[in-house]
């Protein structure tokens, strides 16, 4: 009997914790109605009124969110940036590949110059241009890793949604 009551109690607490979770932000693309969802409590970078606000967000009402200690109206937000695990990992791999390529090309230039062969100019031009390409690849990987995905208000509509609304939309 005691075991049944404990099991029922834990089950009740587990269900309450699941229902207590709040919603999040829904981003809907203006031109094709594609939707994305960002769960409450995630870190975001918000641009609003010429200022930047960074931190975890909480929903206050249908039209306002709280970023750290700043209250922001959804209608005043110009841009919301989010980072995903995929962009952080992919950006890191691209950055590592570009950095390695830049280093390899510079090492190749150093070898060609020290050898002093007849094709020094051609080798330096070819490997130099390849080093520039690799550096651009590294820079793009770094930018992807640091900045994440931007959701500008010109292209996306923002709205708050509850956890129940999210579950109903994804179950269809």
What average pLDDT score do residues 57-81 get?
Answer: 89
CB 60 within 8 A of CB 69: no
CA 73, 75, 77 angle in degrees (round to 5)? 75
If one compares 149 and 128, the residue with the highest pLDDT of the two is 128
- Give the range among 10-14, 68-72, 78-82 with minimum mean pLDDT: 10-14
pLDDT of residue 11: 52
Percent with pLDDT over 90 in the chain: 24
pLDDT for residue 4:
65
Amino acid 164: pLDDT:
46
Q: What is the rounded CA–CA span in Å between residue 91 and residue 137?
A: 10
In which band, very low, low, confident or very high, does the pLDDT at 169 lie, cut at 50, 70 and 90?
low
The answer to whether residue 12 scores a pLDDT higher than 60 is no
Q: Which residue has the higher pLDDT, 67 or 83?
A: 67
The residues, any chain, with a CB within 8 Å of residue 2's CB and separated by 6 or more, are: none
25, 159 Cβ separation under 8 angstroms:
yes
What are the tens digits of pLDDT across the range 77-103?
A: 999 988 878 888 888 999 999 999 999
């Amino acid at each position: 009997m005691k075991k049944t009551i404990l099991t029922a109690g834990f089950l009740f607490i587990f269900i309450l914790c699941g229902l207590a979770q709040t919603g999040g932000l829904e981003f809907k693309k203006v031109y094709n109605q594609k939707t994305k969802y960002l769960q409450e409590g995630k870190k975001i970078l918000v641009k609003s009124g010429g200022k930047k606000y960074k931190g975890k967000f909480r929903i206050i009402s249908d039209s306002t969110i709280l970023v750290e200690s700043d209250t922001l109206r959804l209608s005043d937000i110009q841009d919301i940036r989010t980072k995903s695990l995929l962009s952080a990992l992919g950006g890191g791999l691209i950055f590592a590949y570009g950095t390695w390529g830049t280093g390899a090309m510079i090492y190749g230039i150093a070898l060609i110059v020290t050898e002093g062969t007849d094709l020094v100019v051609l080798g330096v031009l070819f490997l130099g241009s390849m080093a520039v390409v690799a550096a651009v690849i590294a820079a793009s990987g770094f930018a992807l890793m640091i900045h994440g995905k931007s959701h500008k208000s010109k292209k996306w509509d923002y709205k708050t949604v509850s956890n129940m609304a999210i579950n109903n939309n994804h179950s269809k």
